[in-house]
Each structure stands twice: as structure tokens, then as C-alpha cells.
Structure 1
């Protein structure tokens, strides 16, 4: 059981117990807080329709000696429903939000751990490194090391913290496991140097600076400094360009260009341009100090290698997940000619874009799963419809601001509506938060339409990585074309980008007329098989869809990049060598056993292109399209040939096309000239026998 507490926030929302069918508080966080404390004594799950005072309620729950309630959580109805110029008609929406919030918690996922001991590398010009080294002393837990790459100011003379000079030549890793490599560009090793000044006194060219670095442009190689430092041994000219390597937990980079070039660098790394160094150094140090300790995050993905279409026979087929990843967390691995992808969970930030673009379903999102998101959509839409709501518009948005999420804009928009400066979210717009908006794609959007949504709006903020935006645009274009071919409303899938809260006012024009794409809402689960989920949605839209226009005659083309489609085969080129069958990772291509034929099951094809790249005759090309579902499920012969029989024993051993190709390739070889040319028309056994007989 789940108990839900609803508050009208000092009567600023026009909701009543009569219309909502449950008690409605006016000031649950103030004089009615006793009811919240009493609800904590019940063993039921407890959800509170208030996010504004979440910290207060959590603190009260922690202070209460005996708490029986489990699963305490909070959800928003104020900014998303109650503060709107359509709030008076938002009861179905609020009931839907309550039903959604009352769902049991999603299954937990495995955790990924980090351990950071505060070992901080500060890289950059001397002036900024010195400033940051001093500032780091103010933050407990930071243990800085300075790597000076440019002498634009005085180096620290204190030996309290290590300072070295050189050029950073390599930086890899993530929070708690960074590995830095730098090349020494000066003969004096500052970690060994005692700053005694003997070298400066001995140098006849006065080439040693006050920072105890040798100005190599002035040095005449007298090596008097080396002799003066022979006891300490801090000066060695033969160490120039030697590389050193050390491990760090955190990195503050003042370099002109960041050491990590991906759009989303790893946790524990902050780049501050030199021009902003003095102003932002302390803020960056504060952020890094907060990353000292032990941390956990969810493992956001599941990977099933047997479904992966990344590579076969040493050739790369699908690389969609690698191409879209903004953290460079995904790499390519080949072994014995077979390719797979490998994900570093510590670099993964959980955007889920890799799972969205994966055509085979080998990469699946787990936080939460697509099946769980489908359950949440069904619950929202069913609750809304049962409460009398019509023409539901599902709004998918990212909840995390650091990942470009739109929640803060939605919250600000609701507050503008409360101040009568904006209309607020319409009563038919049902918001559903995601960890990242790119974590769901085509099959989930189509499922929402099957569940009764009149439209699905995917909300971006422009802060997402460019490759995420491009991936979502491609998926929307494929989905829209599918809907158009089925005679449904293509604009039921919308990708909208806003830059500020006020932009939301133009997303849902009052003049728009919406209607569900289906005659009755579907109740099917989505499951974990992405291909089956997409097939199920298409089948439902065909059977239960309400066409707005004449459906197209299928098969019909889809945009390039579609996860479904067929193959074009040039019969004049194909020799039925079956290389494509061995290359296909999804079992879409089949041989005929004893018969020389090639069969194709379109439902299995993920358009990875491995067959196209493998074909030695360049006889295949991809054909992204939507075909009748019954045709997609059947094995169809796309090429068949007459077997060629051995001229000596009569046993079939090749096709006529294969023999013709062989004659063109090796017919001019000396071993097959004159009477020996007939051997090309013999099977392997007879060819050997013929050669032996001729030699005897």
C-alpha cells in the first residue's frame, strides 16, 4: 500500500478533497505537520506531493525516533499542474501524477564506486599554479602537486607541497584513478632541488633564474652548475625529455586547451581557461574538495554481446554507441575477427544515448529500464484518462541540470505562472522525468502513442551534447516517417529545444487540436527486447491506429539510419559465396543448406551493414524501409542459382556464378592452361586425382 499526502500550498492551488477524492492539506509543512509525522508511523510507502519542502520533511523523518513508513519520496504537482491558468481543469492531471508517484520503486541497479584521497594535480602557468596551490590549503582533504608548464611568474619557494616543471604529454582516467605523464623540459629537478643557490653562484652565464630553472637559450654548457650540485644531484642535462608518470585523484587544468576534449570530461577533472583562472580558481577548488572520499553511482547500462552488431571478420559494422558517447566511455574491441564494444562504467555519465541508438538492443538502459518507463507512461496515461482527461500530451524531460535537464526551467515556468507572467503547463500536458532525455528512443515514444498519448514531446535545453541532439533528431525523423506511412499524424512526435523558462509558453499553442493515434489504449508491457518492442508497437499502431490520411503502400522507404529495413541484392554480381551469412550477427541472412540459395528475414535485420562490407562482389546494399509486418517475419529467398556439377564425377560443388567468378580471377594462371583448364570445372577431389594422373 502507498499513502499519498497532498497539500494545496496555502490554498494557492484550486484543488479540493471532493474533486480529488482524498484529503487535501493547506499547510502540511507548517501547522499540519503533525499529520505528516503521524503518517510516518504507518508501515505503508509514503509519498508527499511537495518538492519545495522536501529537505524539511526529510529532516523531520530522520529526527523521529520511530518511523515505520518505507519508501518516503516526493513529487511535484504545484509547478507542473496547480500553478497554471488551466489549474481549475487539472484534476485529471493531478490524479495521474498521484497514480504515477504511488508506483512501487524501480528495482535497484548495481553500483559503480569511486575512491578519492584528494591527491590533486594542478597544471598550468606558474602564476595560476602558485595561486591554486595556496588556495588548496584552505580546503581540508586536498593534497596538491603543481605541474608548471609555463614560467610566467615566480614559483613557490616553500617545499610544503611538491612542484615540478615540464610539459603534460598524457592524462587518462577518472575520479580517483587519473594517470598523468609529463616530459621534463629543464635539467633542474625541483623535487630534488634544495634552493641553496650554489648553482646560481657557479653559473658563468647567469642562466639560472630565481625560480631555479635553467634558461637554455643562455646556457653555454659549462656544466659548472652540475659540479656545484654534485652532492644533491638535482641537475642532470641528460634527463631532458625524460617522461615521468604519477597517479592522482583529481585534476585542475589551467592549460590553454583542455586535456580531455570530449564534450563531457570525466568526474574529478576541471578545466579553467587561463584567462579565467584567477576568478574561478577558488570555485574550482571547492568543487574538487567536494569530490574527496568514497562515492557510488548507478551502473546505468546492460550489455549483451551476443546481440551486438559491432564487428565480424575484422570489419566494423555498427558503431552507433561509440559515435554518440560524449564521455568516450565506449571503445571497440576485436578478438579473432569478432568485434564487440566495451564500456568503462566509471566514465559513463548515464545519458543512455548509446542504448537509444543501438539498433539491436545489445545495449540496454537500466536506470530505469525501458519496460519500467513504459509502466510509468501507462500509469500516467491510464490515470489521466480514467479521471476524465482527454488528448494527453506526454512531456519527456531530463531531471538533472548538470546533464542538461529541463526540470529547473519547468519549475521556474510554474512560478512565472503563479505570478501571472506565463500561462503555465496546460492541463493535458503530463510531465515524465528521465535521468537524461536521450535515454529513451523510438520504441518508447511509439509505445506512448499506443498507450493513448495524443503526442509525445521530447524537451531539450540546448545544453545537451551535439551528438545527442543529432541522434534524437534522427530517431524522431524515422518515427515521423513511420507514422506518415501508416496514415497517422507525424507531428505526434516532437523534439523541442528551449533556452529559458519563458520559451515554454510557445510549445503548446492553444489553437492546436490533438487526438489519440489509437482507437483504444494498449496495455502491453514493453519488455527488455528492443526489437520485439518496436515490432509490437508497429503492429499495434497498424491494428488499432486511427489513420488521419490514406496509409502508404508498403514496403516504403525510411530515412537513412533507420533500425529496420531490407537489402538490395544485385543478382548479376552475387556468387552465393555466403560470406554475408557468416558476417550477419543477427541471423537475418540464411543459406539454403544443400540448395544454392540465399534467404533473408527482414525482421532480424538491424541495418548494421556488415554484410555489405563483407561481400567480395559488392552485390549488397542497405534498403531502410517499412515493409508489411507479416512479410518481415518470413524468410524470403533473395537469390537462388543452379548448382554446377563436376564434369568428372557429376557431384554439385559450386554455382554457375561462383565458377564464372573463379574463371575470371584465376583462369589465366599457368596451372590452368590448355587441357588443365578443365580442372576448374572439377570438384576439389577430382582436381587432385586429375593432377596425379597427368603426372604419372
Structure 2
């Protein structure tokens, strides 16, 4: 039983009034931070060319309506005599649409006819099933379903969608940090899997983001283990400054046990409907999208003094967002439990009514926090922020273990190397995207820095000897930052020029595996030579090719 939670539910009326006043001060302090201005934008241009798709009963009247203001093309999914229309009409059984505002491409085909295609700026999709199935639809694409009110709203918005438009470029990408792939082997697909707009695809060893499809949820930055993908609307530093200002004002006004309630556009109406019923210690903070929050932001909030973090999601957000946040909350809580901070500290809500929200917030988390609030600021690089937060939590923890085991798939941990199998070929070094695995120029030595490891698995996938195993855990203190030697061996010197070119273990392995190979059978000494000497030896004439000489009589 969580005694602190039960005490909080019982409540002190006087303290509750203080908390309510302190919450007001916190909200004002957060709002006083200057609004974030996007550094770069993405531009669209639409001349209003509109494609309407659907059966005659569903689409014909709406095509007529839109044609009063927009150049319309109608593709009917059934055979129907429409008579004369001031716009092109086609019949089709198969239709495909892709693109975004100002750049849609459509293909359709009627039975027995050649495929046709066209380019459009806007699409009104009244087909039985959406032609674009992503949870987050691209700008300019409307699939309102059967609801007449939603159809009227879509048509009204489409009539205003001509001209030039722009939106923020929501993300920043540092490809040198990306752990997606190396040498054709896949490591991390987290951002690709979580994107509800299908804006992210693999591009060789890196990923590629289509900024026109990006919906600005920020989930890619939340799940990215390395910080290669980061959310830029607002920046982490801006969000951190709002959190720090809100909590400082809350405590200065006499509030206790604050909970930060992160919400997006979908949660605002629910909060407004229950504004007078919410606990005084719950501080709402609006975000562009709740999927942009993650473990770095939450742990930093606790370091600043928050007793808990609640994230409010509604049915508007994609289900994979909730799954990703739930996974990160479990990792974060496991870390805090390992340090013996009494919890719970996190709450993920997915509610649809104000009443459900009010009931859930009566059980808002009331976890234990460090005795001294942190003063660091959020960094643009999430791994740096995590380092600051983990160091602060560890210093003030009741228990200070060397490490805490984490669930499989967590983006923190170590690797175990089977020294009997490892040949020190250093393939893992070339595959590691975060410089966690390193070699040594002057000796056959495999080194490791746990602080840098993101558990992408590229080292294990690349290892030809299957000698590497991932060990998900959170290490603390100096051991996390120290360089440790995972394996080492004696250097092997070329038998011809004495230059070191490998390890004793590697040469022994090669001799064992290649002794029957045609290129080395009968010439095993070549395996004991460096590359230069091996070539020289292969180019020298052999005795069996020498032409014997005879003395002239």
C-alpha cells in the first residue's frame, strides 16, 4: 500500500487551497516564457485542384458543391449516369492516392480500360474505406466519413485551401548519430515504427523524413535512442524553461507535491470542462503534442521537484504513441525503484470524458523526489539531459546501486563479450553508431563506454562470431562513464616483416577455418603474413614454374 498516496487522497483542506493558488502562479509563470519561434518552415502551394472520390450517392452532391469555388475532378466508384457536369467525371473500380497538399498524385482504372492518372492539390475521399490509411492524414486530404457535419466542415475548409501555406519544420536530424543500419544490417527502426503519418522511411544506413508528411507529433524524437532525431517545436530547452519556471513559482507560493499534467490539443476541452474539479497540485502544461514528451523530460521534471508526471492522451492520438510512452514510463519507473525513490511517479491517461479525467486525477502520482532540486537546464541533446538527470537522482538516492536491470528493449545498457569466441576483428567497432564500442590503435583491445550505448544491437548483428550479447540495464556513478576493456589479446607479428597486423587468436581461427581453402592449401604460411607480404609472396615465381637450364655441349 502506498501510504503517501492514501494520505494525499485524504487531503488537508488548507493545503489544498494553497496548492490551488500555487497552481495559478505556476501556470502564469510558464505562460510568461516567450513563445517559441520555429527556426525553419515547410511551404505548400495550392491552386485548389480538387479530386472527389466516392459513389454517386455519396460524392456527386459534394462535387457539385465544391465546383462552385474549386476546379473539381470526380472519380465515381459505381456506374451512374450523372448527366452534363461542368467538371470531368470518371468511373473507376480501383483508385490509389498519395501525396500532400499541392502535390497529390492519383491513379484510377475502370474495368477493361487503361489506367488514368492526375495531379491534384486537394482530395475529398468519400470512399467506403480511406484511400490513405495512415492515422495522421496529410495536409489537404479529407476523409470525413459518413457524418454530415464532418463533411460540411471539410468542404468549408477545402474552399479556403488555395494559396501559399507553411508550417514549422518540427524535427531535426543528425544522421551521424543514427543507429538505423550499418552495412546492410538493421539496428533501430523505432522512429519508422512509431510515425503515424508514415513520413519516415529507411534510406540505406540512415533514415529519411518527408517534411511535407510530418505531422509534428515528436514521437520520433521521443523513441530515438541516440538523439539523432529530436523534436524542434518547441525545443527541449524551451520546454525545460517552462517546467522549471512553473515549479519554482509553485513552491514559492507554498504548494506541495506538484504533478505536471502534459496535454495536447485534444486534452484541452476535457481540462476546461473540469477546471474547478481538478486537484490543486495538478499543474496543466500544454504541448503541441503529448507524444513529444519522454523519459528525459520526465526525469528532469522530478529532479526539479515534481512529485509526478501525468500525460493525458485522447482518442485523437495514434495507439502506437500511447504504447511508446507506456514503455518509457516503465523504464523510468524501474530506474527510480532501483534507487528506492518511493513511487509511483508516472501516470499515462487515455480518457474520453471530463468525468473520467477528474476521477483519474484523484489518483495522480505522489512520488518521492530528491531532497534538493536540480539547477541544470535541459540540453538540446537528450542523452546529455539524461546524464544530468541520472547523476542528480543517483546523488540524492536512498540506495546507490552500481546498476539496475531494465526490461529488454530499453535504450540503456552494456554488452557482454564471449572472449573465447571473439576474434577481435573489430567489426563491432565499425558498426557502433554511438562510439560505445572502440578499438585501440596501439594494441588488439576492445573497449566499451556504457554511457554511450543505446542497445541498438548493431554490434551483435554485425559480429561474425556471435560473441556479443546485449545487457539492458542502467548503470550509475563513474562506472557508467568509464572506459572498460571487454577483450584483448597478444598482437601477432608478420613472419616475414615482423609488423603487427592482427591478434594471435584471430590468426589461429583463420588457420583453422581456411586450411582447406584452395587459395591457402599448401601455403598456410601466407595467413601468417601481413597483407603486403602476402601479395609479394603470391607474386614470386614458384619452383614448379621454373624452366630448367641445360649446359650446352
TM-score, normalising length from structure 2? Answer: 0.90
Q: Confirm whether residue 101 of structure 1 aligns to residue 27 of structure 2.
A: no
**Distance in 1 between residues matched to 2:497 and 2:365, nearest whole Å:** 75
Deviations 1:259-313 (A, max 9, x none): 112111212212355xx38786544423422433332222211112222222221
Q: Confirm whether residue 382 of structure 1 aligns to residue 248 of structure 2.
A: yes
**Does the 8 Å contact 2:222/2:293 carry over to 1?**
yes
Cα distance, 1:662 vs structure 2: 1.8
Give the one of 602, 615, 625 matched to 2:463.
615
**Does the 8 Å contact 2:92/2:108 carry over to 1?**
yes
Cα distance, 1:349 vs structure 2: 1.2
**Distance in 1 between residues matched to 2:367 and 2:115, nearest whole Å:** 66
Counterpart in the other structure of 1:180:
106
Counterpart in the other structure of 1:342:
208
**Does the 8 Å contact 1:120/1:249 carry over to 2?**
yes
Deviations 1:160-204 (A, max 9, x none): 111112344532111121111223435xxxxxxxxxxxxxxxxxx
Q: Cα gap change, 1:656/1:434 in structure 2, threshold over 3 Å: closer, same or farther?
A: same
Q: Confirm whether residue 146 of structure 1 aligns to residue 68 of structure 2.
A: no
**Distance in 1 between residues matched to 2:236 and 2:435, nearest whole Å:** 24
Counterpart mapping for 1:286-685 below 5 A: 286-334=156-204, 339-398=205-264, 400=265, 405-414=266-275, 417=276, 424-509=277-362, 514=366, 516-545=368-397, 547=398, 550-551=399-400, 553-674=401-522, 676-685=523-532
**Does the 8 Å contact 2:19/2:254 carry over to 1?**
no
Cα distance, 1:87 vs structure 2: 5.2
Q: Cα gap change, 1:85/1:539 in structure 2, threshold over 3 Å: closer, same or farther?
A: closer
Counterpart in the other structure of 1:202:
none
Give the one of 71, 81, 99 matched to 1:155.
81
Q: Cα gap change, 1:597/1:89 in structure 2, threshold over 3 Å: closer, same or farther?
A: closer
**Does the 8 Å contact 1:474/1:561 carry over to 2?**
no
Give the one of 26, 33, 44 matched to 1:114.
44
Q: How many residues align?
A: 530
Partner SS state of residue 429, structure 2: helix
Give the one of 104, 119, 126 matched to 1:254.
126
Partner SS state of residue 672, structure 1: coil
Partner SS state of residue 274, structure 2: helix
**Distance in 1 between residues matched to 2:15 and 2:203, nearest whole Å:** 55
Greater CA deviation, 512-521 or 597-606?
512-521
Q: Cα gap change, 1:88/1:155 in structure 2, threshold over 3 Å: closer, same or farther?
A: farther
Counterpart mapping for 1:34-73 below 5 A: none
RMSD: 2.4
Q: Cα gap change, 1:340/1:243 in structure 2, threshold over 3 Å: closer, same or farther?
A: same
Deviations 1:459-501 (A, max 9, x none): 2224321110110011001100111111113411222222210
**Distance in 2 between residues matched to 1:572 and 1:435, nearest whole Å:** 52
Partner SS state of residue 90, structure 1: helix
Counterpart mapping for 1:221-300 below 5 A: 240=113, 242-272=114-144, 276=146, 281-300=151-170
**Does the 8 Å contact 2:394/2:476 carry over to 1?**
no
Greater CA deviation, 121-130 or 299-308?
121-130
**Does the 8 Å contact 2:407/2:472 carry over to 1?**
yes
Q: Cα gap change, 1:472/1:515 in structure 2, threshold over 3 Å: closer, same or farther?
A: closer
**Distance in 2 between residues matched to 1:526 and 1:279, nearest whole Å:** 44
Cα distance, 1:428 vs structure 2: 1.2
**Distance in 2 between residues matched to 1:141 and 1:178, nearest whole Å:** 19
Identify unmatched segments of 5+ residues in structure 2: 1-13, 547-553
**Distance in 2 between residues matched to 1:509 and 1:110, nearest whole Å:** 41
Identify unmatched segments of 5+ residues in structure 1: 1-83, 187-239, 418-423
Rg larger in structure: 1
**Distance in 2 between residues matched to 1:507 and 1:383, nearest whole Å:** 25
Cα distance, 1:382 vs structure 2: 0.3
TM-score, normalising length from structure 1? Answer: 0.72
**Distance in 2 between residues matched to 1:323 and 1:513, nearest whole Å:** 30
Counterpart mapping for 1:194-213 below 5 A: none
Greater CA deviation, 305-314 or 566-575?
305-314
**Distance in 1 between residues matched to 2:19 and 2:237, nearest whole Å:** 31
Partner SS state of residue 250, structure 2: helix
Cα distance, 1:362 vs structure 2: 1.4
Q: Cα gap change, 1:128/1:514 in structure 2, threshold over 3 Å: closer, same or farther?
A: closer
Deviations 1:222-265 (A, max 9, x none): xxxxxxxxxxxxxxxxxx2x222211111122323221121112
Deviations 1:340-374 (A, max 9, x none): 22212221111110110111111111111111111
Q: Cα gap change, 1:449/1:162 in structure 2, threshold over 3 Å: closer, same or farther?
A: same
Q: Cα gap change, 1:160/1:408 in structure 2, threshold over 3 Å: closer, same or farther?
A: same
**Distance in 2 between residues matched to 1:579 and 1:179, nearest whole Å:** 44
Cα distance, 1:136 vs structure 2: 2.2
Relative contact order higher in (CA < 8 Å, ≥ 6 apart): 2
